[in-house]
A and B are shown apart, each in its own frame.
Chain A
Amino acid sequence: MNKILPTIFHGPWAYWIGAIILGVLNILVLIVRREPWGITYNIALWGEWIGTNLGVLNDRGLTIHNLMAATGTYLNLGLILGALWATLVASQVRFKPIRDKKFFFSALIGGLLMGYGARIAYGCNIGALLNGIASSSLTGWIFAIAVFSGAWLGSKLLLKYLM
């Protein structure tokens, strides 16, 4: 017991152990939520709400009440809190600043592309890829091939301009 707990807390766990537990949790989310785990739809809703309240976007009737009743909000909040907790149990929490200005721009552009791409395709790596394939949807498989091609292009860009 003296050895097991620190190993669990400190990590890192083997990838295959992570895969099995994540698989079980993914299925539990489907059972409880009656729809699969997804991330970006809820993020788009929060962006919509923030944009509306800043006066940048025209109001489409989205209220904070809608957001606080949305299951996606709690999955995303939980994900951030869970990751923070996992870092905290291992005493690994520290602020990690950006080392180079070019990484600031690659993160910003990358984030924009991800958000835009995910929403026109109705989902991200989780909702459309993992759970698209898990739902036995042909779209999920085609999306996976597209993401892989994109990752290949992105790696080329990374090697050429950033590394």
Chain B
Amino acid sequence: MENSAFHSQQKWNIGFIVFLTLLLTLLSQISIHLTVILALGIGLGFVLQKSRFCLVSAFRDPILIGMTQLTQAFILLLGISILGFALVSWGASQSNIPLRLNVFPLGVHTVVGGILFGIGMVLAGGCTSGLLMRVGEGFAMQWVGFFGLLIGAVIGQRSQVTWRNAFGESPGIFLPDILGWAPTLILEILVLAALWRLAKWWQKKQLGE
């Protein structure tokens, strides 16, 4: 039964692979750079779907049902990314390649925006990557969520100035600038390790062994 279900959409699958190949080939005639980016995007979507990776679950499930497996996996993803980003930005500075990291200005909007985003993702049943992923999977609820996201993002983008004028903002703090690279990385990995232990302990406390 499992096997017949597995083969039932194989024709569509082959058609879709042909479509993706054509799309990538066509795009490569215009820009190799964008082709690689699109391929990476496809990879991200594929892996997100296959591993059921959902950042909402990582934040919500510990609260709602006491499960923290995905939270622990997210902490692992953070650890890998921190070390990788450090290596890449070091490499870029060595060879004078311009690289922009996401060090955003800090202000009231950071906290308000985070809280609104946190409430919103739980209500919509997906964070932005999760919404896009489920749009691709065919969930009608996330299509509605995506429509809301589109409108909310435009309004938010246009209110950035209002928030800045009302509360001001300080430039983002790049931790290696004040602590140095090595202490920053050690500190961040220690914090992640502590969070990981905490997540493990929380699940044990909530669900038993």
Contacts and interface: CB of A to CB of B under 8 A. Distances in A.
Interface string A105-118: 01111111111111
Interface in A142-156: 142-155
Given A10-B6, A80-B132, A82-B49, A149 B118 contact: yes
Contact of B160 (A97, A120, A142): A120
Contacts of B190: none
Interface string A16-60: 111111111111111111111111110110111011000001000
Given A74-B38, A83-B133, A120-B159, A23 B80 contact: yes
Given A152-B63, A158-B123, A111 B53 contact: no
B121 A151 contact: yes
Nearest to B2: A10
Contact of B36 (A27, A32, A145): A32
Given A83-B49, A116-B152, A110 B81 contact: no
Interface string B76-88: 1110111011101
A148 B6 CA distance: 38
A94 interface: yes
Given A25-B47, A40-B128, A115-B150, A130 B123 contact: no
Interface string A64-78: 000001010011111
A122 B106 CA distance: 10
A29 B70 CA distance: 23
A67 to B, nearest CB: 12
B105 to A, nearest CB: 7
B122 to A, nearest CB: 3
Nearest to A90: B6
A22 B46 CA distance: 10
Nearest to B86: A136
Contact of B138 (A74, A87, A149): A87
A108 B38 CA distance: 28
A139 B104 contact: yes
Contact of B147 (A108, A146, A148): A108
A91 B5 contact: yes
A93 to B, nearest CB: 6
A49 B114 CA distance: 25
Interface centre among B27, B63, B125, B146 (most CB of A within 10 A): B63
B168 interface: no
Given A85-B45, A107-B145, A116-B152, A133 B97 contact: no
B124 A110 contact: yes
Nearest to A118: B117
Interface in B89-113: 92, 97-106, 109-113
6 tightest CB-CB pairs across the interface, nearest first? Answer: A150-B118, A78-B41, A111-B148, A115-B152, A18-B51, A82-B45
22 contacts: A17-B51, A18-B73, A19-B76, A21-B43, A29-B37, A31-B88, A32-B40, A39-B129, A78-B37, A81-B42, A85-B46, A90-B6, A96-B141, A98-B141, A107-B142, A117-B114, A118-B152, A119-B155, A121-B114, A122-B110, A138-B106, A150-B122
Interface of A: 6, 8-41, 43-44, 46-48, 50-51, 57, 69, 71, 74-98, 103-104, 106-140, 142-155, 157-159
Given A86-B47, A146-B117, 7 more contacts: A17-B51, A32-B37, A37-B44, A79-B132, A139-B104, A148-B118, A154-B122
